[in-house]
Amino acid sequence: MRIALPTNRLLPPPEPLPLARQYRAALLWVAAAAALLLPVRGWLNTIDVAMVFLLAVVAVAVQSSRGPAIGASILAIVAFDVLFVPPYYRLAVEDGDFLLTFLVMLIVALLMSQLGTRVRAQATEAGLLEQESRIRFELNEDFAAAETPAAVLDLLAARIGALLGSAGRFVAAPAREDGPAHPAWPDDGIFADPEVRMAASLSWQDQSPVGPGTARGAEVGALLLPVSIEGRPEGVLAFAMPAGRIPSARELRLARAMLAQGCDALAKASALEAREQGRLEVAAEQLRTALLSSLSHDLRTPLANIEGAASTLVADDARLSAEVRGELAEGILVESRRMHHLVANLLDMVRVESGTLAVHREWQPLEEALGVAYLRVEERLGDREVTLALPKDLPLVSIDELLVEQVFINLLENAIRHTPAHSPITITAWTEAAEVVVEVADRGPGVPPGASEQVFEKFVRVGSAPPFGTPHGAGLGLTICRGIVTAHGGRIWVEPRPGGGAAFRFTLPLAGSPPRPAREAPE
């Protein structure tokens, strides 16, 4: 799974303003206050003026460190004294009245400076935490979408790698009870360096990070983070660290937090995988059981009949009439055909189920596949009327002829098995949007309500005992049809036929068309 990587690098905390700029700000604020007050100094009393200067000092102090705050206070009291306390333009140091004003201003400046510094520090910290929690939150969200342990590991390696600015990689180490002290690490990439392998072993044994920035292995060319599932060591995540690159304490803290998240997600994904595996095994076991019971019944019956008839013929001491011998031989023939049919179906089923069904597509008229299928089942049709009504202008379809023939054969056999001996079967087709729809319709009892999905499941035989004197199939025919149609990109379903009966329909997608041979005039 490829993941679009967000820029996961941590932004550096904002730098405080340089001191020179803080002093310049102090000067500007006090100068601005003075400039504002100067034109109207005749109308103001000294308390008002002092208040405005105090305001300027507070404005400076909240965004500065202590030095510029004190500077602003001194500057303000001097400007106040020189410019606004008569006699003007003279520093009246002896005038003790304003000593208190100065002290108050100084204390306020110091308090404000301290407060401002603390607020700024808190804001910075909050910003950093917000950034980290966003990264961790996004990671959690992406873990939710990662379905397999491998996907979780890929994601974790990519995300921590993005944080550290280094491509990460998970290296599995088999968990062994009493194995060698060092897991058999690979020796490619950064693991070509024996120091990295040693550090990986250390990290794996102690379940702690090793590498630059951590307590151990500061000189190793990689950072190694141990990965475990519920305390069981699985391996390490390795991140190459070029010489001189040392992850910051913040980066390491975040990396460890992400690692912990990753291990949790890994545990969940592993449990899920194990459950899915278990479910598949149960399904496979059920299939095996059903297959065995189907095999034992459906194959043993004809086999027993063949053996019985053949042994009678072999043991014949000229007491059997020619008629009886012929009947026994006929029985052998019929039963071997039945067995052949069952075995063929089982083999097809295995191909469809195991996903090894190869579709060899070729452009061709559907008519040909239908014709072959018809001839294959013709003997079994008896005197049933079968209408093959494909329109002449049906476009060529890109299909595997042998597989689509099998679909027709199975649908026809299904109809023969489930409808009365003389009831008609009609096969038609038409184009609809970008596909060809094929219909095999009968006039039998139809599919019981609610069973229209079920009939396509394997080993399902809907309806009671052999309905029309025909032997049961193994319940595989329609499942095989579904497998083949799906492999062609189509759908198959059954619906009630207006006027009675069942209409099995399947689609074959029409994508593009082949080059047509040139038209020619009759000779």
Partner 1 sequence: MATTAPVLLIIEDDAETRRFLRATLRAHDFVVVEATTAREGLAQLAGRNPDLVLLDLGLPDAEGMTVVAAVRATHPTPLIVVSARGREQDKVAALDLGADDYLTKPFGVQELLARIRAALRRVAVAPGTLAEPVFQARGVTVDLLRREVRRGSAPIHLTPTEYKLLTALIHQAGRVVTHRQLLRTVWGPNAVEHPHYLRVYMAQLRHKLEWDPTRPRLLTTEPGVGYRLQPGE
Q: Which two tokens stand for residue 137?
A: 């939150």
Q: Distance between CA atoms of 51 and 101, rounded to whole angstroms?
A: 10
**To 10 degrees, what angle do helices 46-62 and 66-79 make?**
160
Nearest residue (CB) to partner 1, 199 versus 397:
397
Q: Which of residues 439-478 bind partner 1 (CB under 8 A)?
A: none
Q: Which residue, 110 or 372, is less far from partner 1 as judged by CB?
A: 372
Distances (CA, A) of 96 to 91, 93, 126, 308: 12, 7, 46, 134
Residue 398 Cβ vs partner 1, minimum distance, rounded to whole Å: 9
522 binds partner 1 (CB under 8 A): yes
Q: Between 133 and 513, name the residue whose CB sits nearer to partner 1.
A: 513
- Counting contacts by CB under 8 A, is residue 355 touching partner 1? no
Residues 193-212 that bind partner 1 (CB under 8 A): none
DSSP designation for 103: H
Q: Which of 401, 424, 493, 510 is close enough to bind partner 1 by CB under 8 A?
A: 401
Q: Which of 348, 339, 344 is nearest to 480 (CA)?
A: 348
Give the DSSP letter of residue 6. P
Does 350 participate in binding partner 1 (rule CB under 8 A)? Answer: no
Minimum distance between the CB of residue 338 and partner 1, rounded to whole angstroms? 12
Q: How far lies 379's CA from each of 329, 343, 372, 374, 382, in Å?
A: 18, 19, 13, 9, 6
Alpha helix (H) residue ranges in 146-208: 149-164, 194-206
With CB under 8 A as the contact rule, the residue among 344, 437, 451, 460 that binds partner 1 is: 344
Q: Is 320 a binder of partner 1 (CB under 8 A)?
A: no
- Taking the least distance from each CB to partner 1, the nearer of 396 and 460 is 396
User: Contact with partner 1 (CB under 8 A): which of 140, 228, 364, 470?
Assistant: 364
The interface region with partner 1, picked from 117-125, 136-144, 361-369, 412-420 by CB under 8 A, is: 361-369
Whole-Å CA distances, 331 to 302, 307, 325, 335: 9, 10, 10, 6
Decide whether 324 or 402 has the Cβ nearer to partner 1. Answer: 402
* 402 in contact with partner 1 (CB under 8 A): yes
Dihedral, CA of residue 127, residue 131, residue 136 and residue 141, to nearest 10: 110
- Give how many residues touch partner 1 by CB under 8 A: 31
**DSSP classification of residue 470:** P
Give the binding site for partner 1 (CB under 8 A): 336, 340, 344, 347, 362-365, 367-372, 374-375, 388, 390, 392, 396, 401-402, 405, 514-517, 520-523
